[in-house]
Amino acid sequence: MYRRFALRRLLARVLTGASLALAGGVAFAQSDVPAALTPGETTHVIAALKASGTQVYICKRDQNNQLSWSFKAPSADLYDASGQLVVKHGAGPSWQATDGSKITGKVLRQAANTDEAGSIPLLLLQATSVGGPGMLAQVRYVQRLQTRGGAAPAAPCTQEGQEGRSPYLADYVFLG
């Protein structure tokens, strides 16, 4: 009971923080991106969005037959500077824009977020599949930056198949 209350309280704080971040607008300086997360070829920013959601984990047995949290999928909404929902992010990883365009991707590189302890890593992903005309149709790379939260649940998992969710915030930059 307390765990559920604590999770809801944390999610409320994360969502409030997302609202405040959106009120200030979205500003990205590609020069602040770690070199390891910059594609080798020349790219341009198609969209820079703020994400608010959860990282979903599942309880599985590891190679030592011990129960531990394993990443399953993201579940997030991505907003533009005016606070409008623009993209849904889910398993795959995948992104689907409200205009119907969508992409799936694969992780190319990751870097620890040294500015925010306990946060999921920063990522560079490559689009592996593009579908439908629209905003995401020309995307070749996605950067996940400025992550907050999202690490596996602190409480140990106790039953195989048990699901855990961790709230997170991040900035997503779509590059063409």
Q: What is the pLDDT of residues 98-110, one digit of tens each?
A: 999 999 999 999 9
Q: Is the pLDDT of residue 3 over 70?
A: no
Question: What pairs with residue 97 in β-bridges?
Answer: 87
Q: Is the pLDDT of residue 10 over 80?
A: no
pTM score, two decimals? 0.82
pLDDT band at 7 (very low <50, low <70, confident <90, very high): very low
Q: Is the pLDDT of residue 15 over 90?
A: no
Q: Is the pLDDT of residue 113 over 80?
A: yes
Q: Which amino acid is at 77?
A: D
Cβ atoms of residues 113 and 121 within 8 Å: yes
Q: How many CB atoms lie within 10 A of CB 9?
A: 10
Q: Is the pLDDT of residue 155 over 80?
A: yes
Mean pLDDT, the chain, as a whole number?
86
Average pLDDT estimate for 37-59 = 95
Q: Is the pLDDT of residue 87 over 80?
A: yes
Q: Is the pLDDT of residue 128 over 90?
A: yes
Cβ atoms of residues 2 and 160 within 8 Å: no
pLDDT band at 32 (very low <50, low <70, confident <90, very high): confident
The residues spanned by each domain of the chain are: 2-175
Distance CA 139, CA 94 (A): 12
At residue 9, the pLDDT reads: 38
Average pLDDT estimate for 139-147 = 97
My answer on whether omega of the bond before 39 falls inside 30° of 0, hence cis, is no
For 8, 91, 130, 155, the CA distances from 116, given in Å and listed in that order, are 21, 24, 32, 20
